[in-house]
Chain A
């Protein structure tokens, strides 16, 4: 049995496909060990030199990695849910009900999407708390802290835009409350400080641009859907790439 597996492995290792993916030998020499790191996108994310202490679970608690894992889970389940959800006020709620009641695996995908979203918000906060506590935001890593703050805000806005999509009472009133807050934005909100003085009314201010109207209706549902499924995930992916690239460039701070 084991001999057979070894024979299969020997044959597979010689194929063009295998050699094109793994462009190095077994990591039994220093040269090959370095090549493993260089030629693998995930392993390559780690800085060239890492202090032993910085790799301890007790230092990072894997919180950034967990956040990224939740993001991947959300992207996969989100794409799957899009096959059944139509952002139309007349059927959005029914589509969500269908997903939860009749469609095979529908409630599972929706539950994974919902809980991953909650978990991602939580793990982003925990990750930032850890970075703050270990002082990892300090120079020369302050740029990545700013990227991290952008990722936090994008996470929260993604969470909020997803909130409207089930189109139930909770969704409607949560977003009504949220858009009232947009109305109170200084300078660009009709109800905010200096807003009316600058000529902003309920029909040209920040909340109006966000909702595509004066109430949470069909335009708002479509805008939130496009933001939630397309615009914000793309922005998120872009800043995640920058965030990871900066981690590699900046190195790990490590415990004192």
Chain B
């Protein structure tokens, strides 16, 4: 290639060698800075999510099925925030959290009803809403039997929450549709 062929090309370049390296330097510099800042931001966000928790366990054992008779057992309400309920077909665990605003309802043995002290929601022993502002039925927790010691294992944060049907009596869920694995023990 003859020298005069190249000459025109150099003059046409709108980015000189000096300008090119300046832009590259700026790009690398600012790029590194914002990459580092981004890393710090992501790391700090991750830092705010604790890696260890000092809370009550969400999966726990509550003894063998034989310990629970027909009806609602309220002995674990304070310690574990659950009711253990047995009917003629088996056993399920309901979570003692009102579906209105999260208070803890009380069980009234004489009425066989749960009543929430905060805003008066009423539930039957199946968790159906018979009155008050609660928009959904009580949660049921996932349960299983430990194969080694035969105890009931409750998984507090795995919850059954079916869509209820509005009826003249209240918000209802077909009971047999709720008595399914893993929310029911046929024992």
Residues of A bordering B, CB below 8 Å: 80, 83-84, 98, 102-106, 108-109
Chain B 92-129 interface mask (CB, 8 Å, partner A; 1/0): 00000000000000000000000000000000000000
Whether B52 pairs with A102 at a CB distance below 8 angstroms is yes
Asked if B47 contacts A80 (CB within 8 A), the reply is: yes
Q: A102 contacts which chain B residues (CB < 8 A)?
A: 51-52
| Cross-chain contact B52 with A104 (CB below 8 angstroms) | no
A105 touches B50 (CB 8 A): no
Which chain A residues lie closer than 8 Å to B49 at the CB level?
Answer: 104
Q: Which of A83, A103, A108, A109 contacts B51 (CB 8 A)?
A: A103
CB distance from A69 to the nearest CB of B (A): 16
CB closest residue in chain B, given A84: B50
- Give min CB distance, B14 to chain A, whole Å: 10
Interface range for B: under 10
B52-A98 in contact (CB<8A): yes
User: What A residues does B177 contact at CB under 8 A?
Assistant: none
Write the B10-51 contact mask toward A (1 if CB under 8 angstroms, else 0).
000000000000000000000000000000000110111111
Q: Which residues of B contact A109 (CB under 8 A)?
A: 47
Give A106 to B50 CA distance when docked, in angstroms: 10
Give the chain B neighbours of A80 by CB distance below 8 A: 44, 47
Question: Which residues of the partner chain B approach A105 to less than 8 Å between Cβ atoms?
Answer: 43-44, 46-47
C-alpha gap A105/B52 in the complex (Å): 14
CB contacts (< 8 Å) of B51 on chain A: these are 98, 102-104
Are A103's CB and B50's CB within 8 A? yes
* Pairs across A and B, CB under 8 Å, 10 listed: A80-B44, A80-B47, A98-B51, A98-B52, A104-B43, A104-B46, A104-B47, A105-B44, A106-B47, A109-B47
Question: For residue B48, which residues in chain A have a CB less than 8 angstroms away from its CB?
Answer: 83
List the B side residues contacting A108 at CB < 8 Å. 43
B23 → A minimal CB distance (Å): 9
Chain B, residue nearest A108 (CB): B43
CA distance A104 to B46 in the complex (A): 6
A103 contacts B52, C-beta separation under 8 Å: yes
Q: List, in ascending order, chain B residues with CB within 8 A of A84's CB.
A: 50
| Complex alpha-carbon distance, A105 and B48, angstroms | 9
Closest residue of chain A to B23, judged by CB?
A2
Complex CA gap A57/B43 in Å reads 34
Q: Which residues of A contact B52 (CB under 8 A)?
A: 98, 102-103
Complex-state Cα separation, A224 to B43, whole angstroms: 29
CA gap between A106 and B52 in the complex, in Å: 12
Using Cβ atoms and an 8 Å threshold, which residues of chain B touch A104? 43, 46-47, 49, 51
Residue of B nearest to A81 (CB): B47
| A202–B47 alpha-carbon span in the complex (Å) | 43
**Shortest beta-carbon distance, B26 to chain A, in Å?**
12
The residues of A that contact B44 with a CB separation of less than 8 Å are: 80, 105
